[in-house]
Amino acid sequence: MAAAVAFVERLRKGQAWVPTIKLVIAYSQVISSIPSVYDVVMPDLFNDWIGWLNFFSFRWAFEVGVPSACVGGGLAERIAVYGLAPLVLMLALPLLAALYEGAMAAHARLTALASERSGRPRRTSDGLRGLLLRTVPGMLLIAFISLIAVSHRMFSVFDCMSFEADSLASPPRSSDFVATDLSVACDDKEVWRGESSEYARVKLIAVLLIVVWPVGMPLAFVIVLFSLRHSFRTSRGTRLTRATSFLHREFEPPFFYWEPIVLGQRLFITGWIQLIPNHLQVIRIFVGTLVTLTYATVLMFLKPYLSLKVDMVSIASQFSLVIVLLCALLLKVHTTQPARPATPSLPLRCAQSVCTRRLDAALLLPLPLRHALCGYCGRCTTSPTLQASRPT
């Protein structure tokens, strides 16, 4: 417990490396969710390129902490455990801290009695408020790591895929299933109307957890930060500002509120955007790209971080996401349109140019974009001449 408290204290006192690690975690969580959120198959080279970032997405922590094989029941029970496990851990921190303080107080009392020293024994703490304030940094860290992963899982409940059930019927009949669990059929039943189905229970649990995580957590951060705005403006530190430094320490004082904006952008492109129907995947990618590009542009002009290096890392990560989303849009448009043995279009000729003249283009395009264009070229090329000239 003492080691955990010391680690959280080092996080609280961090100047430049803590914001950088937060940006790496945020970038990893977003980019690793792009294939599932936007239903696009990225090239193998891209998957190899971002493979090492999966560690920083911390999805493995959920599998280690709550293995899927150990959770019985169906999809409703799994998402309930997935959404409640981080909350239980956050609420357990004050209890663990109280036990630790009690043990230290008992040790001090026994030491005083053994040495026959007079005086009052050391108090366990300066009260419940002090105990809670000491556990706030750890709770904020857990919330920061869990927010995107949990929210993505909750919103995936509303992402339904359509499959043709009877092609001979007129018109053909189709059935919808949850994209992350094809054993659960999507329907319009609602528990609050007295209707019962597995998907109705799943939706009810997901809505309740959406209120807690992607709505409640950022709203709680906003309330806390704006309640401290006078302390930020006067540069007067209090116990609460020090306890919540994980949310504001890396930003300029006028931008003390920026952390909820960062979370909002991440939540939108990995969670809320899944409310766009699955059959409108191209629009989903386009909206995600537009939001990311807008946020990157705002970052360029405002530069809200105290450190210029952190500003540059944040801007670079956002434009990298824009490039990846543009590649996903290009691949999605190609895979959804029928093949046509006609003259290659302008985007295809550009992709073929990148593939067949990669020595000239190697220094002009980022690696993910070049890989996506080459994948586009490899799928679309129908001309024997172009196929012969394409590198193997």
Residues 107 and 208 in one domain: yes
Say yes or no: 266 and 355 in one domain. Answer: no
Same domain, 157 and 59: yes
Average pLDDT over the chain reads 78
Q: Residue 128 falls within a domain, yes or no?
A: yes
Q: Please determine, for residue 295, whether its predicted confidence score (pLDDT) is greater than 50.
A: yes
What integer is the mean pLDDT of 22-49?
A: 88
% the chain with pLDDT above 90: 37
Q: What is the mean pLDDT of residues 79-85?
A: 90
Q: Please tell me whether residues 134 and 233 are part of one structural domain.
A: yes
Separation in Å, CA 182 to CA 26, 157, 277, 290, 367:
29, 11, 16, 30, 34
Distance CA 358, CA 370 (A): 9
Whether residue 268 is found in the same domain as residue 363: no
Q: What is the pTM of this model?
A: 0.77
Within a domain: residue 317?
no
pLDDT at 9 over 90: no
Q: Residue count of the chain, please give it.
A: 392
Boundary residue ending a domain (228, 257, 279): 279
pLDDT at position 122 over 80: no
Residue 259 sits in the same domain as residue 344:
no
Average pLDDT (125-131) is 67
Is the confidence at residue 374, as pLDDT, over 70?
A: no
Residues 32, 21: Cα–Cα separation, whole Å: 16
Query: Greater confidence, 102 or 264?
Result: 264
Query: What pLDDT shows up at residue 320?
Result: 94
Q: Are residues 260 and 344 in the same domain?
A: no
Angle between helices 198-210 and 128-155 (to 10 degrees): 140
Q: Are residues 259 and 137 both part of a single domain?
A: yes
Task: Quote the pLDDT of residue 96.
Answer: 85
My answer on whether 143 and 249 are in the same domain is yes
Identify which has the larger pLDDT, 350 or 242: 242
* pLDDT level of residue 262 (50, 70, 90 thresholds): very high
pLDDT score of 389 more than 60: no
In a domain, 390, yes or no: no
Does the pLDDT at position 121 exceed 60? no
pLDDT in tens, 156-209: 999 988 887 766 666 667 788 898 888 888 887 766 666 678 888 899 999 999
Average pLDDT over residues 91-120: 72
Q: Which residue has the tokens 């026959």?
A: 116
Tens digit of each residue's pLDDT (9 = 90 or more) over 136-167 = 999 999 999 999 999 999 999 999 888 877 66
Residue 69, in any domain of the structure: yes
Determine the pLDDT at residue 383.
38
The domain boundary, picked from 279, 307, 323, lies at 279
Q: Do 351 and 264 sit in the same domain of this protein?
A: no
Output the pLDDT for position 170: 66
User: What does the alpha-carbon distance between residue 62 and residue 81 come to, in Å, rounded to a whole number?
Assistant: 10
Contact residues for 215 (Cβ-Cβ < 8 A; gap 6+): none
Among the ranges given (61-75, 170-184, 194-208, 257-271), the one the predictor scored with the smallest mean pLDDT: 61-75
Q: What's the structural domain count of the chain?
A: 2
Question: Is 304 domain-assigned?
Answer: no
Per-residue pLDDT at 384 exceeds 50: no
Q: Are residues 116 and 207 in the same domain?
A: yes
Residue 58 has pLDDT above 80, yes or no: no
Task: Please check the confidence at residue 370 and state whether its pLDDT lies above 70.
Answer: no
pLDDT band at 322 (very low <50, low <70, confident <90, very high): very high
What pLDDT score was predicted for residue 319? 95
Tell me how far CA of residue 62 lies from CA of 21, 29, 37, in angstroms. 20, 13, 19
Domain span at residue 357 reads 340-380
Domain's final residue, options 279, 313, 332 = 279
102 and 240 both lie in a single domain: yes
Angle between helices 258-270 and 17-37 (to 10 degrees): 20
Q: Has residue 189 been placed in a domain? A: yes
In this prediction, residue 198 carries a pLDDT of 85
Residue 48, pLDDT score: 80
Residue with the larger pLDDT of the pair 64 and 347: 64
Mean pLDDT, residues 310-339: 89
For residue 370, being part of any structural domain is answered with yes
Q: Is residue 294 part of a domain?
A: no
Confidence of residue 114 (pLDDT cuts 50, 70, 90): low
Hey, is 240 helix, strand or coil?
Answer: helix
